Structure 1
Amino acid sequence: MVITARALNRTTLHRQLLLEREPVGVAEAVRRVVGLQAQHPGSPYVALWNRVAGFDPGDLDEALSGFELVRSTLMRLTLHLVHAGDYRAFREAMEPTLRGSRLHDPRFTKAGFTAADVDALLPGLLAYAETARTGAELREHLVEGRGGPVEAVVWRMVRQYAPLWHAPTGPPWSFGTAQSFVTAAERPVLRDPEASAAGLAVLLRRYLEGFGPASVADMAQFTTAPRGLVRAAVKTLEGELERLEGPDGAMLYDVAGALRADEGLAAPPRLLAMWDSVLLAYADRSRVLPPEYRRHVIRVNGDTLPALLVDGYVAGVWRPVGGGIEVSAFRPLTAADWAAVGAEAASLGRLLADRDPHVYRRYDHWWVKGVPAAESRVLPS
C-alpha cells in the first residue's frame, strides 16, 4: 500500500491531536502524543493548549506537582514531559545513547572523571535524592562522595544521565530557573542490554502510535538511538506492525490496524509551542515543515521557533509582543486564514496573560536578526 504525502500529514496531525482539540485530561493527552518537548517550561502548556479542548493550565500544574507527569532528559538527549508510567521503559530505551553521550564525553576525562566513577557515585546520589534536592545540594553531595571538586560540566552530564525527575519549583510554568531534582519513583534498569532492547521496542511502538507511519530513519531521529538498535527493535515488533510505501518510495512502518486519516480532512490553524515535537520527530520533516522554511524555523543552534500551521503545514512563526501575538507568515495568507489565526491568537493570549504574557522573550534575538516574511501582523489578544 502506498500512502500519499498529504495523508501522512493528516495522520500525523490526527495522532498528535492537532486536527481537533480532544476532550481528554492532560495525562491522557501526553500519553497519546508520547511525550512533549520541555526545554522551555512554558512549552508543554502551549502544546497542550493546542491539543486539549478546554485546556486548564491548573490541571497541568497538578499533574506535575503530583508526579503523574514527569520532566526528565530522554529522547534526543533533551528534556521531555512524559507520563510517569512510561518513564521507566523510555529511560531504559535511551540508556545506550545517554550513557555513551553523557558519561563518555571527553570533558569527563579532562576533569579526571570516568564512567566507572559515576557508576560508583550514582547509588548514593539517588538515595540522597529520594527527597527532592536542589541542584546545588546534589552537586555538593557528589563533591563529598568524590572527596574532591566536581566541575560544572561533570555535574551537568551526571544529572542528565541519572534517572532523576525535575521537581516543580513554582510559577509561572511549574519549573523556573532554580532547579530541583528527585529520584524516579520506579528506577529504570541501567547498563543492561536486554532491558534497553525491551524498552526501545516499547518506545518505538508508542512512537508509531503517536507519530506513525514512519521509517527506521524517522524512529532513529526521534530517539537518537543507533539505527542498528532501531532495526533490531522493529524486528521484534514485526508481528504487530504493517508496512507501507511512502510517497518517496521509502518503507514505512505502522501499528497494525491503526487509523490513518483521510487526506481530504481540513486542518485548522495552530500556533505551535517552541520545540513542538511534531517538528522534530522525523528525519524527513517535510511531512509538516516545508523544506524551504526549515532554516527559518529550526535555527543553527537547534532553537526551534514557535511555528504557525496553516492547512497542516508550517507557514510562519509567532511570538508574543506588546498588544498581542505577532505572526510572521512566510507566504501570503487569505483573509479567511488570517481570521482563523486571529481567533487562535486571541485564545493563546488569554492563556499567556495569566502566566507570562511574554513567554519566549529571551528568543526575540532571532527576530532581531531577521525572520523573512511575506506579511507580519500583530493579532490582538
Structure 2
Amino acid sequence: MKTGKLGRTVLDARALNRATLARQHLLTRADTTVTEAVAHLCGLQAQEPQEPFTGLWSRLSGFRPGQLDEALTGRTVVRTHLMRRTVHLVTADDALAWRARHDAMLRQRVLGTYRSELAGIDLDEVAAAGRAVMADRQPRTMRELVQALEDRWPGPPRRALGELLVAALIPMAQLPPRGLWQRTSGVRNLPMATWLERDIDPLPADGDDPVGQRLLHRYLAAYGPAAGADLRAWSGLAGLPAAIKAARARGELVVLRDERGRQLLDLPDAPRPDPDTPAPVRFLPAFDNAILGYHDRSRIIDAPHLGLSVAGHRTVLVDGRVTATWTVRDHQLRIAPLRPLTTPEQKAVHTEAQALATFLAEDIEQIHLDTGA
C-alpha cells in the first residue's frame, strides 16, 4: 500500500487480495455460527446445492455439515432467488429485508431472458393467480405451479412461465431436503412469507432507500474495498449510486484507489491486512463468492482463467490466488494446477486436500496432484 498524489491510499493487487481474503474468512477460519457467517457474507451462491458446504468448511473453524442442515430446517437460513436472479443461501432476516429491493431486477432479468415468449402477459395478473394457487400452503414444484395456471396462459413455454413465477413474481423459498448435506432432491417451492411465517419488508413509500444503504455497508464489510461496478455486479442492482452518494455525504466511507487509478470505496475501520500476510491454501466450491462478488476479479484470479469462475469449476487458492482446479471422481480428489507449484506449495495443497477429503466423506481413496511430470 502507498499514498497517492491526492493523499488517498493506493492498494496494489496483493493488498486488495489480502483484504478480500480477510473479509471472506479465507485468511483465517472464523469461529462463528453458520447463520452469522451467511449473514456476514451477504449470502452464498447456491444453485449447486452441495457447494455451500465446502465454502463454509473453508471459512469456519470446526464446521460440520449438520450445522447448515439445522439452519435450513430451522428456517434461520433459506434458499431463494435473489442477487443476480441466482439461487442464494441467505439468512431469513436478509431474505425478508432485501427481497422487495430486488423485485424489479428479478422481473427485468426474467423478461430479458424470455422477452418474446412472455410478450403481452399481464405480470400482475399472473402473480395474483400464482399466489391464489399457493394460498393452500402446499409446496409445489415449478412444473406443478405452471400446470395449475396453463389453462389461463397456454401460450408461453412452461419454462418461461415457471421461472417468471418462482424467480420473480412470487418470493419463494426452496424447501428442504433441497440443499441438505449429501441429499438429492428436486425443488419444491413455498412462498417465503409462508415458510418463514413473516411478511416481506415493504419498500419505504417516501423514496428513501435504507435497504440499499444497508446493502452497501454489508457488501463492503464482506467484499471491500470495491468499486461501484463491483457492487452492481454482485447484486445485479443498478439503482445504488444514490446509496453511495448518501453514505459518502455522511462521511461513512473512505475513498481508495487501485494501481490503475480506479476509485474504490470502503468502510473506515474494515480490515486491510499487510500485503505480506501469509495466505493459506483454501479449496473453494463452484461459483464461490470470493470470485463472483466483483466486476473486476483480478484481485483473486488472473485474466486467462476468468472463464473458470462462471463455468462451475471448483478452484484452489494458493498464496491467495486461483492456482488450480479440483474435482472428485471415481474415489479420487484430483487437483489440476494452472501453473507449476513449488515443492512447499505442493505440500501445502496436499495437506489441505487431505483435510478436505476427510470432510467430504465420499470414500476418497486417493489424492492426485498433477505436477505435469
> Normalised by the shorter chain, which TM-score bucket?
0.7 to 0.9
Matched, 1:160 2:167: yes
- One-letter amino acid of the counterpart of residue 235, structure 1: K
Question: Partner residue of 1:247?
Answer: 259
**2:69, 2:180 within 8 Å by CA — same for their partners in 1?**
no
Q: Kindly indicate whether the alpha-carbon contact (under 8 Å) linking 1:212 and 1:254 is maintained by their aligned counterparts in 2.
A: yes
Deviations 1:87-140 (A, max 9, x none): 123222222211212246414435x63323323324324533x44334344333
- Gap regions ≥5 residues in structure 1: 359-372
Deviation at 1:353, TM superposition (A): 1.9
**Structure 1 residues 217 and 194: CA distance shift in structure 2, 3 A:** farther
Give yes or no for contact 1:290–1:314 (8 Å, CA) kept in 2: yes
Q: 1:346 to 1:14 in 2, by over 3 A?
A: same
8 A contact 1:12–1:211 mirrored in 2: yes
Partner of 2:291: 279
2:335–2:370 contact (8 Å) kept in structure 1: no
**What's the CA shift string for 1:259-283, capped at 9, x where partnerless?**
2222111100111001101111111
Instruction: Specify the SS of the correspondent of 1:294.
Output: helix
Aligned length, in residue pairs: 353
| 1:8-27 aligned within 5 A | 8-27=16-35
Partner of 1:231: 241
The answer (yes or no) to whether the contact 1:93–1:196 under 8 Å persists in 2 is: no
Q: Following superposition of structure 1 onto structure 2, how do residues 142-153 of structure 1 map, counting pairs within 5 Å?
A: 142-143=149-150, 146=152, 151-153=158-160
CA distance in 2, matches of 1:163, 1:171: 18
Q: How does 1:197-212 map to 2 (within 5 A)?
A: 197-212=209-224
Distance 2:226 2:14 in 1: 14
Output aligned runs, 1:117-128, within 5 Å. Answer: 117-128=125-136
CA distance in 1, matches of 2:153, 2:14: 59
Where 2:327 maps in the other structure, the secondary structure is strand
Q: Write out per-residue CA displacement over residues 292-316 of structure 1, whole angstroms, 9 at most, x where no aligned residue.
A: 2223x13xxx323101100000111
Equivalent residue, structure 2, for 1:216: 228
Residues 74 and 24 (structure 1), Cα distance of their counterparts in 2 relative to 1, 3 Å cut: same
TM-score calculated relative to the size of structure 1: 0.84
Letter in 2 for 1:138: L
Match of 2:334 among 312, 326, 340: 326
Once the two structures are TM-superposed, the CA of residue 219 in structure 1 deviates from its matched residue by 0.7
- Write out per-residue CA displacement over residues 331-380 of structure 1, whole angstroms, 9 at most, x where no aligned residue: 111111111111211121122225x969xxxxxxxxxxxxxx98369xxx
Whether contact under 8 Å (2:143, 2:162) holds in the other structure is no
SS of corresponding position for 2:15:
helix
Name the CA distance, whole Å, in 2 between partners of 1:332 and 1:341: 12
Contact in 2 for aligned 1:46/1:272 (Cα 8 Å): yes
Distance 1:141 1:196, change over 3 A: farther
1:68 maps to what in 2?
A: 76
Where do 1:1-381 residues align within 5 Å?
1-103=9-111, 105-109=114-118, 113-128=121-136, 130-143=137-150, 146=152, 151-161=158-168, 162-169=170-177, 173=181, 176-184=184-192, 185=196, 186-188=198-200, 197-226=209-238, 229-238=239-248, 239=250, 240-295=252-307, 297-298=308-309, 302-353=310-361, 375=371
Matches of 1:132 and 1:178, distance apart in 2: 12
- Among the aligned pairs, what percent are the same residue? 33
- Quick one: structure 1 residues 88 and 327, their matched pair in 2 at CA, closer, same or farther if it must change by over 3 Å? same
Q: Which moved more, 1:35-44 or 1:2-11?
A: 2-11
C-alpha deviations, 1:198-248, integer Å up to 9, x for none? 32222222111100110011111111122xx12112112222222112221
- Determine the C-alpha separation between the residues in 2 that align with 1:197 and 1:322: 51
Map of 1:363 onto structure 2: none
Cα distance in 2, alignment partners of residues 100 and 376 from structure 1: 46
- Residue 163 of structure 1, CA deviation: 0.6
SS at match of 2:240: helix
Structure 2 gaps of 5+ residues are: 1-8
RMSD over aligned CA atoms reads 2.7
1:329 Cα deviation after fit: 0.4
TM-score (norm 2): 0.86
Q: 230-239 or 96-105, which moves further after superposition?
A: 96-105
